[in-house]
């Protein structure tokens, strides 16, 4: 399984190598961030930007034997474009923050880093090694915001098995507890885009306990309605529902239960009706089915903002940064 993941990340690395994609890392004093950034720079996979006091960051890295030579370290307290950033933030927040409040808020590394992304000085951001998910996602929702026609961000997992021959996307397994039909449709469309990042041809199944009206309930009706909305949002994609998992996954069952469906029996993107089934489902696949689960990957934002676990390793930082840079290449 380890070799499969290595191959996949080699493929993702090849897509961004030499393209000089700028990615900002607000948590510059963390040794996991420092080590990952040094590696990403050395391999020419992106242009990392660290946030912090340059002298303190370099001293901290040197103590740990990490070479940050040639890596930009931007100090939020001594930034030439600070006045412009403050004015932009005030305008963006439309009366929700005064100039004085903005000057205080933007001393926070996550807010500062997110503004760099908004102002096109970075293509994406990776944080969360020290900060909570809320501290990472909140600035993104306030500043970067969700894409046109998308009202929420969601969390997808890429599931990998069988030497990488089996690759699937599961969503939403991490963020939205009980999405309504409109939100479920948006998750479906954004999950298809995530699939493309990982070279997965998106055949999107909206899952239920019912297939094409075989049962009737408000829960089933929500998924059926979400399917119609998603198909209208992205007519170029193969999207179908509502489908039971076996109808979505097993070709013979799909033909029997949903004849004529463009997705049944060959789904690659599985959209769960709510977070309980999504979270349980990916963990069952991971533990019973020996799938490698990569994520959660945040989707739905105008620009990629990625949230690490505070228990992450240097390798986790390295991989999520590669995913973030790849997301910046997808419309």
Q: Are 180 and 278 part of one and the same domain? A: yes
- Same structural domain, 191 and 266: yes
The answer, yes or no, to whether residue 4 has pLDDT greater than 80, is no
- Tens of pLDDT, residue by residue over 283-306, are 999 999 999 888 888 999 999 999
- The number of domains in the chain is 2
Are 6 and 78 contained in the same domain? yes
Residue whose entry in the numeric block shows the structure tokens 């930009």: 72
User: What pLDDT digit, counting tens, does each position of 175-215 carry?
Assistant: 899 999 999 999 999 999 999 999 999 999 999 999 998 99
Q: Model confidence over 21-80: pLDDT tens digits? A: 999 999 999 999 999 999 999 999 999 999 999 999 999 999 999 999 999 999 999 998
pLDDT at 274: 96
My answer on whether 97 and 128 are in the same domain is yes
DSSP reduced 3-state for 212: coil
DSSP 260-275: T-SSTT---EEE-SSH
- Same domain, residue pair 194 and 99: no
CB neighbours of residue 178 within 10 Å: 11
**Residue 88's domain spans which residues?**
2-145+303-327
CATH number at residue 15: 3.40.50.10950
pLDDT classification of 1: cutoffs 50, 70, 90: low
Same domain, 123 and 188: no
- pLDDT digit string, tens, across residues 123-169: 999 998 898 888 888 999 999 999 998 999 999 999 999 877 899 99
Instruction: Say yes or no: 53 and 114 in one domain.
Output: yes
The answer on 265 and 186 residing in a single domain is yes
β pairing state of 22-25 and 124-127: parallel
Tell me, yes or no, whether 229 and 122 share the same domain. Answer: no
Residues 201 and 130 in one domain: no
Do both 281 and 317 map to the same domain?
no
Within this chain, do residues 54 and 116 fall inside the same structural domain, yes or no?
yes
Residues 6+ apart with CB under 8 A from 129: 27, 30, 32, 33, 308, 310, 312, 317
Give the chain's length: 331
Kindly report, residue by residue over 68-116, the tens digit of the pLDDT.
Answer: 999 999 999 999 899 999 999 999 998 888 999 999 999 999 999 999 9
Mean pLDDT of the chain, nearest integer:
93
Are 251 and 265 in contact, with CB atoms under 8 Å apart? yes
* CATH number of the domain bearing residue 249: 3.40.50.10750
Q: What is the largest CA-CA distance in the chain?
A: 66
């Amino acid at each position: 399984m380890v070799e499969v993941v290595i191959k996949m990340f080699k493929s993702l690395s090849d897509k961004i190598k030499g393209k000089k994609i700028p990615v900002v890392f607000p948590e510059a004093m963390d040794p996991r961030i420092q080590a990952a950034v040094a590696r990403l720079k050395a391999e020419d996979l992106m242009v990392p930007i660290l946030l912090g006091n340059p002298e303190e960051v370099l001293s901290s890295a040197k103590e740990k034997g990490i070479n940050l030579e040639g890596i930009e370290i931007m100090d939020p307290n001594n930034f030439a474009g600070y006045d412009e950033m403050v004015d932009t933030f005030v305008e963006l927040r439309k009366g929700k923050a005064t100039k004085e409040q903005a000057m205080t808020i933007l001393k926070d590394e996550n807010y500062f880093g997110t503004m760099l992304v908004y102002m096109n000085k970075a293509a994406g951001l990776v944080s969360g090694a020290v900060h909570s998910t809320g501290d990472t996602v909140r600035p993104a929702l306030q500043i970067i915001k969700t894409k046109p026609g998308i009202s929420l961000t969601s969390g997808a997992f890429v599931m990998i098995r069988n030497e990488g021959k089996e690759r699937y996307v599961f969503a939403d397994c991490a963020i939205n507890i009980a999405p309504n039909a409109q939100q479920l449709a948006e998750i479906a469309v954004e999950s298809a885009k995530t699939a493309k990042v990982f070279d997965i041809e998106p055949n999107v199944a909206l899952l239920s306990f019912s297939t094409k009206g075989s049962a009737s309930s408000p829960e089933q009706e929500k998924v059926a309605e979400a399917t119609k909305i998603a198909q209208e949002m992205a007519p170029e994609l193969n999207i179908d529902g509502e489908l039971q998992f076996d109808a979505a996954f097993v070709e013979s069952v799909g033909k029997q239960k949903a004849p004529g469906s463009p997705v049944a029996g060959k789904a690659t993107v599985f959209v769960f009706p709510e977070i309980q089934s999504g979270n349980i489902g990916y963990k069952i696949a991971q533990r019973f089915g020996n799938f490698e689960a990569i994520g959660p990957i945040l989707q739905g934002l105008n620009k990629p903002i990625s949230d690490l676990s505070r228990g992450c390793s240097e390798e986790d930082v390295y991989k999520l940064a590669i995913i973030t840079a790849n997301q910046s290449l997808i419309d």
